[in-house]
Amino acid sequence: MAAHHSKVSVIAPARLHMGFIDLSGSLDRHFGSIGVALNEYVTKISVSPAVDRLVTGPSSQRADKCLTLMCEALKVSDKVEVIIESAIPEHVGLGSGTQMSLAIGMALNKLYNLQMSVRDIAALMDRGLRSGIGIGIFEQGGLVLDGGRGKKTITPPLLVHLDIPKDWRFILVFDSRGQGLHGKQELDAFKALPVFPQQEAERLAYLLLMQGLPAVAENDLAQFGEVITQLQQAVGEHFAVAQGGAFTSPEVAVVMQWLAEQGTVAIGQTSWGPTGFCAVDGMSVADELVIKAKQQFASFLDNLSFVVVSARNCGGEVFFD
């Protein structure tokens, strides 16, 4: 099939992974997770037909691997030029792998006019094996909740999508030394985990459905934050065995404790970290807290950095350039 002689651009947003709901699978569904799309970190690529295959830009190694897999799976020519304008940082818990896969898959889909959905592409790339958040984020943005994996699941179904109130801000705390578990380490960690109590999974699901989600709809950050903090504590304690504590980075843990004392809510670690996050209402509050945090933790600044981000209430974008 001949490609159109044109350039396809894709913007794929980063996300915060706020935790799993059921790690026990007592009702024969595993995982189920909640997450929020972000504005400030995106993977942006453009793909156009070329005489020779070429991949340039940040995270090009990963993109190159994705391209090979995707072209084989879609049975299309890899004679394309992929230019990566920006890439979500890798292995810090912002969902970079899934978004790169989706970006390349959706670009080829449009370039070769294959009429496939985001989910079709994700299924080909074995994305959403545990969490469906990355897929839901690309589809719709905002806050998404997926239904985990059951016996018939191809990709975890998107159950809830809500817009995040526009004044909410998240403070991210990065640790430049660490990488969250990924690849084989991550799979091994999941296998080694103890059994998650069914009662705890039930409590979290109830809190989320009857407190956390309504709070987003009614712009009640404190209530939403309380639920996310509880979810994070339960899941963090469960994963502590694999990552050496509720937080991967001890310094991030100290800072997050301090941020909680300053009145921030929704305290947690995105995915396997090492990135910590918390939420506040309003940009000025967030900026002031970051200034205070940098003074308070001046000795950590060689390794830690603070970034204020906002939620993105729309999904990924795919367009002819």
Tens-digit pLDDT profile for residues 79-118 = 999 999 999 999 999 999 999 999 999 999 999 999 999 9
* Pair (153, 281) in one structural domain: no
Question: In this predicted model, what pLDDT tens digit does every residue of 116-153 receive, in sequence order?
Answer: 999 999 999 876 677 899 999 999 999 999 999 999 99
Same domain assignment for residues 142 and 180? no
Domain harbouring 265, CATH code: 3.30.70.890
In a domain, 1, yes or no: no
Confidence of residue 49 (pLDDT cuts 50, 70, 90): very high
* Same domain assignment for residues 199 and 251: yes
User: Are 157 and 12 found together in one domain?
Assistant: yes
Q: What is the CATH classification number for the domain harbouring 21?
A: 3.30.230.10
- Confirm whether 215 is domain-assigned: yes
Residues 21 and 137 in one domain: yes
pLDDT digits (tens, 9 = 90+) for 282-316: 999 999 999 999 999 999 999 999 999 999 999 99
In a domain, 84, yes or no: yes
Domain co-membership, 152 together with 72: yes
Asked if 16 and 156 sit in the same domain, the reply is: yes
What one-character DSSP code corresponds to residue 195? P
Q: Which distant-in-sequence residues (6+ apart) come within 8 Å of 269 by Cβ?
A: 93, 232, 236, 246, 247, 248, 252, 256, 275, 276, 277
1 confidence band (pLDDT: 50, 70, 90): low
Residue 190 maps to a domain: yes
Q: How many domains does the chain have?
A: 2
Give strand pairing partners of 43: 12
Q: Does 218 fall in a domain?
A: yes
Which residue range forms the structural domain that includes residue 61?
8-163+313-320
Q: Do 146 and 231 belong to one domain?
A: no
Tell me the one-letter amino acid at 15: R
| 2 assigned to some structural domain | no
H-type helices in the chain, by residue range?
Answer: 60-74, 96-111, 118-124, 133-140, 183-192, 198-207, 213-217, 221-243, 250-261, 283-296
On whether residue 211 sits in a domain, the answer given is yes
Q: Is 113 in the same domain as 143?
A: yes
Render 113-176 in DSSP notation, one character per residue. T----HHHHHHHTT--SS--HHHHHHHH-SEEEE--B-TT-SSPPEEEEEPPPTTEEEEEEEET
159 shares its domain with 175: no
Are residue 106 and residue 175 in the same domain, yes or no?
no
Structure tokens at 157: 């179904």
